Amino acid sequence: MRVLVVEDEVRLADNLAAALREGPGFAVDCAEDGEVGEQLARQGCYDLIILDLMLPKVDGLTVLRHMRSRDNSTPVLILTAKDGTASTIELLNAGADDYLSKPFDLGELIARAKALIRRGKGASHPVFAIADIEVNTLEQTVRRAGRVIDLSPTEYRILEYMVHRPRVIVSKRELLEHLYDYNWEHHSNVIEAHISNLRKKLMADSDQQPVETLRGRGYRLVADLEGAG
C-alpha cells in the first residue's frame, strides 16, 4: 500500500513516514506544502492520503476540495491541531474520511490508516479469507489451510494488495505504483521475481495455484479454487 503524507512540519512528516514504513510496511511519499501535495495526489497511485490542515501555499481543506471535485476518491485522513465541532463538520462535509487531532498516538494513526485503506477497497474486516488462504493484516501473517506461510515483507505486501482486490487483474505497473515510493529504484522485473517467489511459497503444500499469471496483462488472485475449503 502507498501513502502520501502532506505535512509542513518536516520532523513530524519524517516520523510518520518512518512509522508507516516500519509498522504496516507501507510505501510513503511526503509533501511539504499543499501545492506539491496536490500534484502528487493527482497521480492517483495512493491508497491513502494523510493531510495536515495548515499548510504553506495551499491549505489542506482546499487540497481536499480540489481532489474531491476531480473525483479522486482516495481515502483522506486529516491531521489537525484545531479541535472544534464546526471544523470537524466542515472537514467531513468536504470529503474527509477521518481525522486525528494533534498530538496523536502513532498506534492509533496506523490503525486508522489501515482501516481507511480497507474500507477504501470495499472490505471491512482486517482478516481476509480467499478460498483456503487467510491473510491477517493486523499480525501481517498468511496461512494456507491453517498452515503458516513465511513470506518476505515485499511478498507479503504484494499478497496483501491482491487480497484487497480479489478476482481483479492487477498489472505489474499497478503493483509498482502502490508498493513503492519515490525513494525506490524500481523495475518491473523486481515484481516478477517477487511474484515467482510468492507463487512457490503458496504452492509448497498444495496443488492449486491461487495467483494466476495473465501474460502481458498482470496477475489475478483466484477466489474459487476447485476442491478448496
Stretch that binds other proteins, among 19-27, 122-130, 135-143, 188-196 (CB under 8 A): 19-27
105 binds other proteins (CB under 8 A): yes
3-class state of residue 16 by DSSP: helix
3-class state of residue 50 by DSSP: strand
> Is the C-alpha dihedral spanning 83, 89, 94, 95 positive or negative?
positive
Beta strands in the chain (DSSP E): 2-6, 27-31, 48-52, 76-80, 98-101, 127-130, 133-136, 141-144, 147-149, 211-214, 218-221
10 binds other proteins (CB under 8 A): yes
What would the grid cell of residue 171 be?
Answer: 498489472
Which of 4, 5, 16, 133 touches other proteins by CB under 8 A? 16
19 binds other proteins (CB under 8 A): yes
CB of 104 to other proteins, least distance (A): 6
Stretch that binds other proteins, among 76-84, 134-142, 193-201, 205-213 (CB under 8 A): 76-84
175 binds other proteins (CB under 8 A): no
Percentages of the chain per state (helix, strand, coil), in multiples of 5: 40, 20, 40
Q: How many residues make contact with other proteins (CB under 8 A)?
A: 25
- Closer to other proteins by Cβ: residue 87 or 171: 87
Residues near other proteins (CB under 8 A) are 8-12, 15-16, 18-19, 22-23, 32-33, 54, 56, 79, 81-82, 101-107
